[in-house]
Amino acid sequence: MAHKTVPTTDDRCVVKPRQPPPNPCPESQLGWKTGRAEGRREMRLALGRPRKPCLVALGQFFREFSTGAAGESSVFDSAGFIHPTAVVHPDAVIGRGVSVGPFCTVGSSVKIGDMCQLYPGSHVFGQTELGDNCVLMTGAVVGDDLPGSTLIGCNNNIGHHANVGVKCQDLKYKIGEPCFLAIGNNNDIREFSSIHRSSKSSDCTVIGDNNLIMGSCHIAHDCKIGNCNIFASSTLLAGHVVVEDYVHTAGAVVVHQFCHLGSFSFIGGGSAISQDVPKYMMVAGGRAELRGLNLEGLRRHGFTDSEMRSLRRVYQRIFMPSNANPVGFEERLAELEQHETLAQVPAVLSMIQSIRDCLAEDRRGICKFRHWNTS
């Protein structure tokens, strides 16, 4: 009977350590090192595959921007910084301490104020003037190669891929006619917003100071925007719209051309405005209707309790009259203007005058109230 032989220790398989794969190039050419990143970099250079120039430029810019002092030039140097990949026309006027990032474009008629920052891929064209301390984020386009001008004040932020001061979307605009845009100071214009120049040489699109224009908003030709307004995302203003001061729109609001939005008014989300909104009012709805006073907004802006009580009384007498007082709309306004106590409150007189202005012949009328008395 055959006996099985038990393998001895010497006959068993010995696990050998795994050997590294052979180098495609001799170590003398690769200069191989232990660090992975350094090894990959040196291998890429040895094989003749350097990094793409655009990636090198962007990496250099962001390193310098984040550290503030990298090498010979710095983004935060008082003398300014223009990246070598930027295209800046020699006739452009560049202020002190201006930072121009990679792949930016600055036209021949552009004037840029002191300490402005142009992030990578932002562009300034045409007869455009930027005030001091303005910031253009990546993809922002300011100005257009058209007759006319785009004037932007100081301390404005223009967000990613926003278009400011470009040609209007009005078929009545005649190619070659001067068109204008003027923007004040301290405005925050967020990503993907668009603000157009005027549609004729006799008019101008105007935006005041301290406005917050959130993402994807649109302000069309010949609009007049006051101060300290807040436009939530996707607020769309058609041509010739007038917005006074401290107006707040919620998201996805659309406003018909030639409409007026009075000061301290509030527009509910998703509303379509086809007629004027008087001062201090709150409107909402697919075809927006008056929903009362913007009491929370008035309180936030310093209106006293006494003023708000007076405004509420006036609102009720105008838009919610009792059957015991069957006088017409005009008569109700006249009575309140002569009221012994209410007529002494400046905010009351301002609201009544705003309502009268909305009813003028050259205006679109006032937003309807669901319990409107037509007597």
The answer to whether residue 188 is catalytic is: no
Burial of 210 (0-12, 13-18, 19+ CB in 10 A): middle
Q: Which of 221, 240, 248, 260 is catalytic?
A: 221
3-state secondary structure the chain: CCCCCCCCHHHCCCCCCCCCCCCCCCHHHHCCCCCHHHHHHHHHHHCCCCCCHHHHHHHHHHHHHHHCCECCECCCCCCCEECCCCEECCCCEECCCCEECCCCEECCCCEECCCCEECCCCEECCCEEECCCCEECCCCEECCCCCEEEEECCCCEECCCCEEEECCCCCCCCCCCCEEEEECCCCEECCCCEEECCCCCCCCEEECCCCEECCCCEECCCCEECCCCEECCCCEECCCCEECCCCEECCCCEECCCCEECCCCEECCCCEECCEECCCEEEECCCCEEEEECHHHHHHCCCCHHHHHHHHHHHHHHHCCCCCCCCCHHHHHHHHHCCCCHHHCHHHHHHHHHHHHHCCCCCCCECCECCCCCC
The answer to whether residue 222 is catalytic is: yes
Pairing assessment for the beta strands 148-152 and 179-183 based on DSSP bridges: parallel
The answer to whether residue 239 is catalytic is: yes
Q: Which of 107, 113, 239, 297 is catalytic?
A: 239
| Distance (Å, whole) CA 11 – CA 190 | 76
Q: Which of 222, 240, 248, 260 is catalytic?
A: 222
Instruction: Cite the active site residues.
Output: 221-222, 239
